Structures are given as structure tokens and as C-alpha cells.
Amino acid sequence: MTFNDIFKSSFLENVASVSILDMAIALTLAFGLGMFIFLVYKKTYQGVMYSSGFGTTLVALTMITTVVILAVTSNVVLSLGMVGALSIVRFRTAIKEPLDIAFLFWSIAVGIVLAAGMIPLAVVGSVFIGVILLVFVNKKSHCSPYIVVLSCEDSMAEKKAVDFLKSNVQKCVVKSKTAAKGLIELNLEIRMLNESTDFINELSSIPGVNSAVLVSYNGEYMV
């Protein structure tokens, strides 16, 4: 084979460039590992609204990447054309959760490694990554943060409410304060001493306190 023969392309010759057995094994393994990635994503998801469509995308992305890399590795001309075609693709979908990026790259990496024939690396690597994610993402903090939204009539009621709150929680930090005529609203991040929320009932009964709302908080958004 000469250097020029590498760049010769024939449709009929390309038909048999990848065997049926290779395609079946690669796609079956891609589907299996894609489902494993999907299950790990489902178990470790901590966002506001779970999207089953994104989980399905992870499975499809693993299989699509496998198909693309199988085609690329079988033909040099096709690989050059694929690079040019993919270079003009732009994805505008916003990634809401930083961890979603890791799952996208995981799916793509598994597809590439499978199509390259490195099956043990794809399987063992995926199991190892999945275990690490399950252990660290699902690791709960011993003391979850909460936000208390406090509405008071005046500064006297505000002081009583804040002092009461500090005496009944482990930690209390003012995150924001809004003052208007006859109204003071506070957002305070707290760490509770235990799972009991009875102190909110007592807080709302303090004279001058209009309302007290307890909201779960993960450091980025309120649930």
C-alpha cells in the first residue's frame, strides 16, 4: 500500500471495513455502560428538578460516540472529514448542574475507549468512577444548612427574634436584610442542633414578628 492508497475511498470497500460482530459487541457494551452511567446519574442527582431526558441522553451519547469512533478508526479520509464536520457544531444548551459536565464527558470517554477496543479499561474505569461518585456525591453533611426568612415590624422585634434564633441553633449568619417603613425582612443561614423545627413556631409567636419561614438550602439555591 502506498501513501496515495490511504486516501483512496471506495463505498463498496467501506461496507466491510467494520465487521458485524465488532459493531454488535461495541454497541451492546456501549448500551450497557451507558445504562450504568444513567443509573449513577439518577442516584447522585441533587438538583431541583430531575430530567429523565438528560439521563437518556447519556445512554444515547455513549452509543453515538462509539459509532462515530468505529467509523473514524476504519477510514483515514472519513476521520479527516469528521473532524471538519464536528468543528462547526455548536451546543447552546445551558448546563445547570456542574456535575452534569462530568457525566457528559464520562459518556463520551466510554464511547471512545470502547470503539478503540479497550474494553477492560472502559468497564473497569466506569465501575471505578461510578463508585467514587456514589460515595462522594451522596455523602451527607452532618449538619445541613437552612435559610430562615424572618419578617419583623421594628428593630426591637428583630433583635429579640435574632437573639432567640441564635440561642436555639448551632450557627446563625445574616445573609441579607431589607428594611422598609414598618417592615424589616431578614434572610439568615442557620445550622440546626437537631431535626426538630419547633423553634420556628416559637419564633413566629414573638411579639412584633409577622412571620418566620424555614427553607432547605444547599449553598447555591433554595429548595
Residue with the bigger pLDDT between 94 and 146: it is 146
* Weakest-pLDDT range from 81-90, 104-113, 126-135, 183-192: 81-90
Q: Is residue 108 part of a domain?
A: yes
153 plus 118 within the same structural domain: no
The model carries a pTM of 0.61
CB 188 within 8 A of CB 174: yes
Of 137, 164, 179, at which residue does a domain stop? 137
Residue 44 lies in a domain: yes
Those residues whose C-beta lies under 8 Å from the C-beta of residue 66, and which sit 6 or more positions away, are 26, 27, 30, 111, 112, 114, 115
One domain for residues 133 and 192: no
Q: What is the pLDDT of residues 176-220, one digit of tens each?
A: 888 888 888 989 888 887 778 888 888 888 888 888 888 876 555
- 101 CB burial (10 A radius; 0-12, 13-18, 19+): exposed
Residue 124 and residue 149 in one domain: no
| Final residue before a domain boundary, out of 137, 166, 183 | 137
Whether residues 22 and 121 fall in one domain: yes
159 and 60 part of one domain: no
- Domain with 169, as residue range(s), is 145-216
Number of separate domains in the chain: 2
Within this chain, do residues 129 and 149 fall inside the same structural domain, yes or no?
no
Q: What is the CATH number of the domain that holds 158?
A: 3.30.70.260
Mean local confidence (pLDDT), 6-22: 60
